[in-house]
A and B are shown apart, each in its own frame.
Chain A
Amino acid sequence: MSNPSVPASMDSSLPVTTRSRLVEIFRSIMRVREIFMVILIIVICIFMSILTPHFLNVANFVAIMRGFAMEGLVVVGMATLLIAGAFDLSVGSIMALSGIIAAWLLTAAKMPYAVAMLGGLGVGLLSGTINGIVVTRIKVNPLIATLGMMSVARGIALGFTEGHPVINIPQGFAFIGQGSVLGVPLIIIYMVVIVVIADILMRRARAFRQLYYVGSSPNAARLSGINVDRVMFLAFIGSGVLTALAGVISMARLTSGVPTAFAGVELRMIAACVIGGCSLSGGEGTIFGAILGLIFMALITNALTLFGVSIYWEGVVTGTILTLAVSFDMISRRRLKAS
Chain B
Amino acid sequence: MSVTPLIEARGITKAFPGTLALDQVDFQLMPGEIHALVGENGAGKSTLMLVMAGVHQPDSGELLVKGQPVKIHDPNEAQQMGISTVFQDLALAPMMSVAENVFTNSQPVDKMGFVRFPDMFAATTKALEQFDVQINPRTPLYLYNVAVQQIVEIARAIQRQAQVLILDEPTSAIGEHETERLFHCLELLKEQDLGVIYVSHKLDEVFAISDRITVLKDGKLVGTVKTAETNRDKIVHMMVGREVDRLFPERNGGQHEPVLEVRNLSGHGYHEVSLTVHSGEVLCLFGLTGSGRTELARGIFGSEPPSEGEILMHRKPVKIGHPSKAMELGIAYIPEDRKRDGLFLEKSLKENIIVTRLRALSRSIFLNSAKIDAQANEAVSKLQIRTSGIEQRASSLSGGNQQKVLFAKWLARNPKVLIADEPTRGIDVGAKAEVHSLLRRLANDGAAVLMISSELPEIIGMNDRTVVMREGRVAGILDHDQATQEEIAAYALGKIDTTLPPTMEEKI
B is bound to A: yes
A223 at the interface (CB under 8 A from B): yes
The verdict on A20 contacting chain B, using a C-beta distance below 8 Å, is no
Task: Answer yes or no: A320 CB below 8 A from chain B CBs.
Answer: no
Q: Which B residues are in CB contact (< 8 Å) with A226?
A: 104-105
Task: Decide yes or no: A225 and B76 within 8 Å by CB, A5-B208, A336-B143 being known contacts.
Answer: yes
User: Which of A206, A224, A225, A283 has a CB less than 8 Å from the CB of B95?
Assistant: A283
Q: Are B177 and A217 in contact (CB under 8 A)?
A: no
In the complex, which range does the number of interface residues on chain B fall in?
Answer: 35 or more
* B208 close to A216 (CB less than 8 A): no
| Contact string against B for A residues 197-208, beta-carbon threshold 8 Å, 1 for contact and 0 otherwise | 000000011110
**Contact between B204 and A217 (Cβ–Cβ < 8 Å)?**
no
Q: Does A311 contact B (CB under 8 A)?
A: no
Contact B113 A205 (CB under 8 A): yes
> What is the bound-complex CA distance between A31 and B95, given in angstroms?
12
Asked whether, in the complex, the Cβ of A210 is within 8 Å of the Cβ of B132, the reply is no
Bound Cα distance A3, B232 (Å): 8
Contact digits for B416-442, partner A, Cβ 8 Å, 1 yes 0 no = 000000000000000000000000000
Cross-chain contact of B100 among A6, A7, A209 (Cβ < 8 A): A209
- State A219–B105 Cα separation when bound (angstroms): 13
User: In the complex, A225 Cα to B106 Cα: how many Å?
Assistant: 9
Selected from A12, A31, A204, the residue in CB contact (under 8 A) with B114 is: A204
Q: Which residue of B lies closest to A210 (CB)?
A: B105
Nearest-CB distance from A210 to chain B (Å)? 6
B344 at the interface (CB under 8 A from A): no
**Assembled-state Cα–Cα distance A166/B112 (Å):** 44
A28 within 8 A of B: yes
Least CB separation from B80: chain A residue: A225
Partner of B183 from the list A6, A206, A207, A223 (CB cut-off 8 Å) is: A6
CB of A46, distance to nearest CB on chain B (Å)? 32
Give the residues in chain A near B96, CB-CB below 8 Å.
212-213, 216, 283
In the complex, whether B115 has a CB less than 8 A from a CB of chain A is yes
**B261-298 contact mask (Cβ, 8 Å, vs A): 1 or 0:** 00000001000000000000000000000000000000
Interface pair B114/A205, CB less than 8 Å apart: yes
The residue in chain A whose Cβ has the minimal distance to the Cβ of B232 is A3
Decide if A43 is an interface residue (CB 8 Å cutoff): no
Q: Determine whether the beta carbon of B93 is less than 8 Å from that of A217.
A: yes
Q: Is the CB of A5 within 8 A of B204?
A: yes
Q: Which chain B residue has the least Cβ–Cβ distance from A338?
A: B268
Instruction: Kindly specify which of B307-315, B465-473, B484-492 makes contact with the partner chain.
Output: B484-492
Q: Please name 8 pairs of A and B residues whose Cβ atoms are closer than 8 Å in the assembled complex, sorted by A.
A: A4-B204, A14-B177, A16-B135, A212-B100, A213-B100, A216-B93, A223-B76, A224-B104
Q: What are the 10 tightest A-B residue pairs by CB atom distance, in nearest-first order?
A: A216-B93, A5-B208, A220-B91, A283-B95, A224-B104, A13-B132, A7-B489, A204-B114, A225-B76, A15-B134
